[in-house]
A = this chain, B = another copy of it.
């Protein structure tokens, strides 16, 4: 069952390989019918490898994300795949596990293997995308950027707006002791979500002390630990903003383990919706955004760049976010926001396990 080659088809159709090749690439050919028949008979399929070697184009795209297991990135990948398939592109998937080394290695290995890449870079100081770009590999940034990257296409979200609305929501409810559980500040979303949230608080006269500003790692365990630390403070916050979905899951687990009642004792706002977020009791208030669409747009941008030979001006698309107010946010339990009066205990254990948080 060895594969038929273009030469076999040519022979059978009584033409040259070149003619078959022209037929395949859409040029008009006299012996079209014979060739079609020969292809059919031989079940001929052009070798994508040979084609790519010759043409220099692979018709494949790499999508590089920290973790497909994160529902956000899963959605992104799905959106990207759907668009790619419409244009007959194939999709390579790489997980970096938020590991810069890994990302550098992947990117370096990609040149010559794909026509372009969609990348959610691990840190903003990353230089690998620049090298890839210089090596002629078009890169579209997804959700995150790197420093000084005006020459790259990017599909981002309005982290600032979403975080501002989250902050305003909590302030409007009357919270003053508001904490933020942030991911790594070296990434675009980590930085933007934090900055905007804190600024909004500040503009309303609320400045969370250091221990209220947790730096996690965008992972579930980070969210869990951060919440544990926050609730061990002498004056724990009455509200918190958790800046990504995985950490939110961890935070909820921590609250559940300690036995904190949401929102009676503590209000919580997450970033990115989760599968069952609306079914939790209380349903979770989150900053939401179009996830599959973000992946789809990134792929569209990339394909556009591949097809428009002229190196068109880089495009940055910023998607809107939306605050979904559900049940996990409510006014604070205590009308006396100033620590000075003893905060009423909100759980059995946490005030005894006081721990400083750097």
Contacts and interface: CB of A to CB of B under 8 A. Distances in A.
Interface in A71-111: 71, 74-75, 77-78, 81-82, 85, 90-95, 108-109, 111
B95 A81 contact: yes
Contacts of A313: none
A100 B274 CA distance: 29
Interface in A320-341: none
A52 B53 CA distance: 10
A134 interface: yes
B278 A276 contact: no
Contacts of A3: 111-112, 135
Nearest to A111: B45
A348 interface: no
Contacts of A67: 78
B112 A47 contact: yes
Copies of this chain, count:
2
Contacts of A91: 92-94
Contact of A78 (B58, B68, B278): B68
B68 A77 contact: yes
Given A68-B74, A78-B67, A277-B276, A112 B249 contact: no
B45 A112 contact: yes
B92 A90 contact: yes
A243 to B, nearest CB: 17
A90 B113 CA distance: 10
Closest 9 CB pairs of A and B: A281-B281, A276-B276, A93-B93, A74-B74, A49-B53, A69-B78, A68-B74, A69-B74, A252-B279
Interface of A: 1, 3, 45, 47-50, 52-53, 58, 60, 63, 67-69, 71, 74-75, 77-78, 81-82, 85, 90-95, 108-109, 111-113, 134-136, 249, 252-253, 256, 274-281, 292
17 contacts: A1-B134, A1-B135, A3-B112, A45-B111, A47-B53, A49-B53, A50-B53, A60-B92, A63-B93, A69-B75, A74-B74, A91-B93, A91-B94, A253-B278, A274-B275, A274-B276, A280-B281
